[in-house]
Amino acid sequence: MKTLIHDTPEAIGAHLAARILAEIRAANAAGRSYVLGCPGGRSPMPVYQALERQLAAAPVDCSHLVIAMMDEYLLPGGAGLFPPAASAHYSCRGFGEREIVGRINRALPGGLRMPEANFRMPAIAEPEAYDGMLAALGGIDLFLLASGAGDGHIAFNPPGSARDSRTRIVTLAEQTRRDNLATFPEFRGIEDVPTHGLTIGIGSIAALSKAVAMIVWGDGKREAFRRLSGAEAYDPSWPATILAECRNGELHADTAAGAQP
């Protein structure tokens, strides 16, 4: 695993965006799709912002780009669980449509834009089919990852998640829900945060990713950086340590997260 310390979150974003666009160009030249795995939330935002800036400055054909999201909240209803409307402030689908696909397509002329059909998320009716769909695409070329600050959750996988877990419905850990109060500040309190989610699995990330880039930045991610930079194998008490077992793993931190205690 390679560890890279950048001066700022913006520097992380610029570095990874340039890599992604270079890899999209290479995939285009080879006549194949490029699959980018994406989390929602604060950690990857510098990457999505940098993609928009760099595409506006030097357009790249994204018509064969596929965005694969990690997870979605689930709400209780009369017939079971269902995802929130994309307009909900905490919707992962809404985040992806606005902050990832929206930014990419806003920067590009029509013929180079990413088609809406290339935006993929797991389906509540058949979660396990997500892994098969991603495998059929050839796997995920680069999976951007983020670690929960308080419990090391990755996507919605709670502490204790099995190493071989696949895409599934889970009960969210309380600390995960508390971490998401900061991710989605419009939540008024812990009681507003959903208790269930649909998530790609730990094993899914490791098996389906050709390369991964874990992003941690800010003072609040120092413990995450410590746990991840010292990991030699998957530790279920901090699920983001699956990074240590992924192919071509990289840990990207800013100087605040990577500061020595």
Residue ranges of domains in the chain, CATH in brackets:
2-254 (3.40.50.1360)
CA-to-CA distance for 211 and 45, rounded, in angstroms? 19
pLDDT of residue 59: 98
pLDDT of residue 77: 84
HEC string of the chain? Answer: CEEEEECCHHHHHHHHHHHHHHHHHHHHHHCCCEEEEECCCCCCHHHHHHHHHHHHHCCCCCCCEEEEECEEEEEEECCEEECCCCCCCCCHHHHHHHHHHHHHHHCCCHHHCCCHHHEECCCCCCCCHHHHHHHHCCCECEEEEECCCCCCCECCECCCCCCCCCCEEEECCHHHHHHHHHHCCCCCCHHHCCCEEEECCHHHHHHHECCEEEEECCHHHHHHHHHHHCCCCCCCCCHHHHHHHCCCEEEEEECCCCCCC
Sequential pLDDT tens for the chain (261 residues): 999 999 999 999 999 999 999 999 999 999 999 999 999 999 999 999 999 999 999 999 999 999 999 999 999 987 899 999 999 999 999 999 999 999 999 999 999 999 999 999 999 999 999 999 999 999 999 999 999 999 999 999 999 999 999 999 999 989 889 988 888 889 999 999 999 999 999 999 999 999 999 999 999 999 999 999 999 999 999 999 999 999 999 999 999 999 876
User: Is residue 214 within 8 Å of residue 251, measured between CB atoms?
Assistant: yes
pLDDT of residue 260: 74
pLDDT of residue 184: 86
C-beta atoms surrounding 189 within 10 Å:
8
User: Is residue 189 within 8 Å of residue 181, measured between CB atoms?
Assistant: yes
Among residues 90, 111, 109, 95, which one has the least CA distance to residue 193? 90
CA-to-CA distance for 110 and 112, rounded, in angstroms? 6
User: Is residue 177 within 8 Å of residue 195, measured between CB atoms?
Assistant: yes
pTM: 0.96
pLDDT of residue 182: 83
User: Is residue 198 within 8 Å of residue 231, measured between CB atoms?
Assistant: no
pLDDT of residue 261: 65
